[in-house]
Amino acid sequence: MDGNLPMVVRDDDAPLLVRVLAASLGRAAARPKVARDLRRLRGRVGLRSTVGPQAATIAFAGRVVRVTHGAGPDVDVLIEGDLETMGRPGATKPKVSGAVRHPRLALGAGRVLDAGPPGGWRGAVDTLWDWAQGDDGLPELLRVVCQDDGGEHVVGRPGGTQVEVHGPEWALAAVFTGADHLGAALLEGRVQAVGDLPELSRFVGLLTRFMLGEKGAR
Amino acid sequence: MLADGTRMVRIEATSLDGPMVGKFLSAEKFERSLPGGVALADFALATDLAGLPQLGWWGDWRAPALGDMVLRPDPATGVAEPGAGDTVGFLGSFTDQEGTPLPVCPRSLLSAQVARLAALGYDVRCAFELELFVLEESIAEARALGFKRLTPLGGHDPKPLYVMQRAPEYLPLMRAATQRLEQMGITWEAFNDEAAPGQFELNLAPADPMTAADWTVRAKRALREAAYEHGHAVTFMAKPFATYGSGMHLHLSLWRDGAPVFDGDDEVLGQWVGGLLATMAGAMSILVPTINSYRRQVDFAAVPTTPTWGEDNRGAAVRTIRPAAGGARVEHRLGAADANPYLVLATILAGGLAGLEERIDPPDPVTHLPWGVPDGQPRLPSSITAAADALAADERLAKALGDGFVEHWIESRRWEWLMFHSEGGDPDAHDATDWELRRYFEWV
């Protein structure tokens, strides 16, 4: 590991939101520009769901970023909203408290939390593909089709197991950055898929591990 | 296989999470289905308690496009259905189309462990203790309330243990339940008022392992049906209320050539206990299976929280009991009421077998109550995910129960965790959440 990259840490048996945030920040921290932003940030940012009990705090302290469960009154900036739908078209904008007193922290945190991989949903697919090499949920070929413009992105080699995922750009970006769960997105119709059920199910497992940052757990 | 006059057959088995699944068949259809059994969609073993397909892994036992498995009746389980003279009930096991037991079939998993013990020359006698809550409300009323704000039979106020003066309130239901047991050929020994308001315990007689597990799932059914008839609901949730939780303790003795082994052979008893403790962290995933089960795992609540054993020690996970008159046995106190009896027994036998085969010495017994131990001393896993991780690390249980089952089980526990957190379950809640009540009250 690059000693200059910020280290993102969390408790071992943390709730879902903590794991998702830590995994997402951990992946983002591997990119030099985001790493630079992270190293400059100081302070505590809370995220709290307005539709459920989920809450987490991200403590930025230079080289160490710690994600913990809950968002207490000691946070400097508090982001409140529907964490499930945040980022989807038409979603209500989150309420941000403390941004006036801590503008750099609020802006910087917003930037790193939104820091998807370069290249939009295609870049997200590439990032997942690289991350997942060796995982038994990875099909030999992954075809992703954007329903907004018909564009497609194919990774892997033909001739073996194959999975296709179709969806609008925002949904593909959410699924392939780990912001949305592929199983839920499929069951609720945000994306569609083509593939044998065994392959699809294993691929959902792979994306769940990606979402939770559990590489090597199987 | 059917007596004259039979016009309907009820055939069923537990899914992994515990609900009975099966079909009612006409007598003619049942006879035609023999000897193989009746087809059910295999996703009955791969959906969660909310009916959602579990996605994220795949077992080779499954047909690729939601195909069939077969529920094969065990002729030895045939009973006249209580109150329905024209209906016969069978319990069964899940097989593939060729009749091979599925690796995730609870009854087959137990059968395999019994066979392993028999190969070593041992028989087992065992009995479950079932704890449950009886509610003032009917099941229809409980559903209408979303299983919230229910009243335990007799009210919420704390009360003593074993009280008899409320017998008129619960005796009609328990009399009906025990009559059903007797009609199904199930030997019960006792029932009593328990520690929490509305909580009761039913003790079944010792039997061979398969019979003991069959009796237990049928006893749960008898209690539910008697409660239905008497306008009450029952639940086998481990911790539906903030009071004491419900367990499913198992009393077990080992026999060889018709003689009890634990009465005279301390070495075998020690190895059996040693195996149970060596596999206990991983076994916990199966014995304490749900999000709600872990709410019961608190110190000073008559629940084991440490991997310990002791002579007549109710604080330890394994309590050895050696009456002066003979009848030495082991009480395994870890199981939660919401666990699947077949899986509980299969897992406990697998642990004991590991102890015998590897001659595992037990740690020293504890003589104190091992609750509230200082940091740094061994404790049992405290969450569904920690227990799943412990099972994933347990090579003994994977070898005994099979990778096909263990992998499926571990993934299903992680799925349970994911559903709790993503469907609004509150990680900070001290008591059963709405999500748990909706998911478990009626089905475990």
B422 and A208 within 8 Å at the Cβ level: the answer is no
Counting DSSP H helices and E strands in chain B, the numbers are 12, 15
Say if residues B310 and B366 touch (Cβ distance below 8 Å).
Answer: yes
Say if residues B368 and B306 touch (Cβ distance below 8 Å).
Answer: no
Distance separating alpha carbons of residues A90 and B338, to the nearest angstrom: 42
B418 and A201 within 8 Å at the Cβ level: the answer is no
* Residues 6+ positions from B387 with CB-CB distance below 8 Å: B281, B282, B284, B285, B288, B380, B381, B413
B424 and A186 within 8 Å at the Cβ level: the answer is no
Residue A197 contacts B, CB cutoff 8 Å: yes
Please name the residue of chain A whose CA is at the shortest distance from the CA of residue B54: A201
Q: Which of A119-128, B199-208, B372-381 has the lowest mean pLDDT?
A: B372-381
> A120-212 — its CATH code?
3.30.1050.10
What are the pLDDT digits (tens) for A75-107?
Answer: 999 999 998 888 788 888 889 999 999 999 999
> Is B37 in a helix, a strand, or coil?
coil
> B8-102 — its CATH code?
3.10.20.70
pLDDT at B323: 87
Chain B residues in contact with A197 (beta carbon < 8 A): 58, 64-66
B56 and A201 within 8 Å at the Cβ level: the answer is yes
Which residue out of B42, B57, B430 would a mutagenesis test of the A interface target, given it has the greatest number of A Cβ atoms within 10 Å?
B57
Averaged over B245-268, what is the pLDDT? Answer: 94
Per-block mean pLDDT, blocks of 10 residues, chain A (218 long): 80 94 93 91 95 95 95 95 86 91 93 84 95 93 96 94 96 94 94 95 97 76
Q: Where are the beta strands (DSSP E) in B54-198?
A: 68-73, 79-80, 87-95, 123-135, 188-193
Would the pLDDT of B372 be above 90?
A: no
Domain boundaries defined on chain A: 7-113, 120-212
Say if residues B209 and B115 touch (Cβ distance below 8 Å).
Answer: no
Chain A residues in contact with B425 (beta carbon < 8 A): 53
Q: Which CATH superfamily is domain A7-113 in?
A: SCP2 sterol-binding domain (3.30.1050.10)
pLDDT at B389: 96
Averaged over B189-209, what is the pLDDT? Answer: 96
Name the maximum alpha-carbon separation found in chain A: 57
pLDDT at A92: 87
Q: Which of A2-16, B180-194, B266-280 has the lowest mean pLDDT?
A: A2-16
Length of chain A: 218
What are the pLDDT digits (tens) for B406-436?
Answer: 999 999 999 999 999 999 899 999 999 999 9
Please name the residue of chain A whose CA is at the shortest distance from the CA of residue B422: A16
Q: Which residues of B touch A (CB under 8 A)?
A: 52, 55-58, 62, 64-66, 382-383, 385-386, 411, 417-418, 421-422, 424-429
Distance separating alpha carbons of residues B286 and B339, to the nearest angstrom: 7
How buried is A155 (Cβ within 10 angstroms: 0-12 exposed, 13-18 middle, 19+ buried)?
A: middle
Q: What is the mean pLDDT of chain B?
A: 95
Domain boundaries defined on chain B: 8-102, 114-440
pLDDT at A117: 81
Distance separating alpha carbons of residues A70 and A110, to the nearest angstrom: 19
Chain A residues in contact with B430 (beta carbon < 8 A): none
Q: How many CB pairs under 8 A join A and B?
A: 56
Q: Which of B52, B66, B418 sits opposite A208 (nearest CB)?
A: B418
Distance separating alpha carbons of residues A67 and A75, to the nearest angstrom: 12
B426 and A69 within 8 Å at the Cβ level: the answer is no
A54 and B421 within 8 Å at the Cβ level: the answer is yes
What are the pLDDT digits (tens) for B122-164?
Answer: 999 999 999 999 999 999 999 999 999 999 999 999 999 999 9
Minimal C-alpha gap between B19 and chain A (Å):
24
Residue A187 contacts B, CB cutoff 8 Å: yes
Chain A residues in contact with B424 (beta carbon < 8 A): 51-53
Minimal C-alpha gap between B123 and chain A (Å):
37
Chain B residues in contact with A51 (beta carbon < 8 A): 424
Distance separating alpha carbons of residues B14 and B131, to the nearest angstrom: 18
Task: Report the Cα B384 to chain-centroid distance in Å.
Answer: 16
> Is B59 in a helix, a strand, or coil?
coil
B427 and A52 within 8 Å at the Cβ level: the answer is no
Per DSSP, the residues of B291-360 read TGGGGS--TTSSS--SS-EEET-TTSSEEEE--TTS--EEEE---BTTS-HHHHHHHHHHHHHHHHHHTP
Q: Which of A88, A179, A53 is nearest to B421 (CA)?
A: A53
Task: Report the Cα A156 to chain-centroid distance in Å.
Answer: 22
Q: Which of A16, A69, A205 sits opposite B56 (nearest CB)?
A: A205
Hey, how many other C-beta atoms are within 10 angstroms of the C-beta on A179?
Answer: 20
Minimal C-alpha gap between B288 and chain A (Å):
17
Hey, what are A145's tokens? 């089709």
- Count of CA atoms in the C-beta half-sphere (13 A) of B401: 34
| Choice between B2 and A207, residue whose per-residue pLDDT is larger | A207
B428 and A70 within 8 Å at the Cβ level: the answer is yes
B55 and A196 within 8 Å at the Cβ level: the answer is no
**A16-28 and A197-212 helices, crossing angle to 10°:** 80
Hey, how many other C-beta atoms are within 10 angstroms of the C-beta on A177?
Answer: 24
Distance separating alpha carbons of residues A67 and A9, to the nearest angstrom: 6
Chain A residues in contact with B427 (beta carbon < 8 A): 15, 53-54, 69
pLDDT at A217: 47
pLDDT at B100: 97
A52 and B62 within 8 Å at the Cβ level: the answer is no
What are the pLDDT digits (tens) for B301-333?
Answer: 889 999 999 999 999 999 999 987 878 999 999
Distance separating alpha carbons of residues B41 and B47, to the nearest angstrom: 11
- Count of CA atoms in the C-beta half-sphere (13 A) of A38: 28
CATH 1.10.3210.10 fits B114-440, yes or no: no
Instruction: Pinpoint the alpha helices (H) of B184-320.
Output: 209-229, 266-278, 280-287
Please name the residue of chain B whose CA is at the shortest distance from the CA of residue A49: B424
Say if residues A85 and A99 touch (Cβ distance below 8 Å).
Answer: no
Distance separating alpha carbons of residues B424 and A120, to the nearest angstrom: 30
Please name the residue of chain A whose CA is at the shortest distance from the CA of residue B57: A202
pLDDT at A216: 58
Which residue out of B382, B421, B434 would a mutagenesis test of the A interface target, given it has the greatest number of A Cβ atoms within 10 Å?
B421
Sign of CA pseudo-dihedral B348, B349, B353, B356 = positive
Hey, what are A4's tokens? 């200059």
Please name the residue of chain A whose CA is at the shortest distance from the CA of residue B421: A16
* Residues 6+ positions from B201 with CB-CB distance below 8 Å: B129, B130, B131, B132, B191, B192, B194
Q: Which of B359, B345, B437 is nearest to B400 (CA)?
A: B345
pLDDT at A3: 63
pLDDT at B280: 98
A201 and B58 within 8 Å at the Cβ level: the answer is yes
Query: What percentage of chain B exceeds 90 in pLDDT?
Result: 91
pLDDT at A148: 94
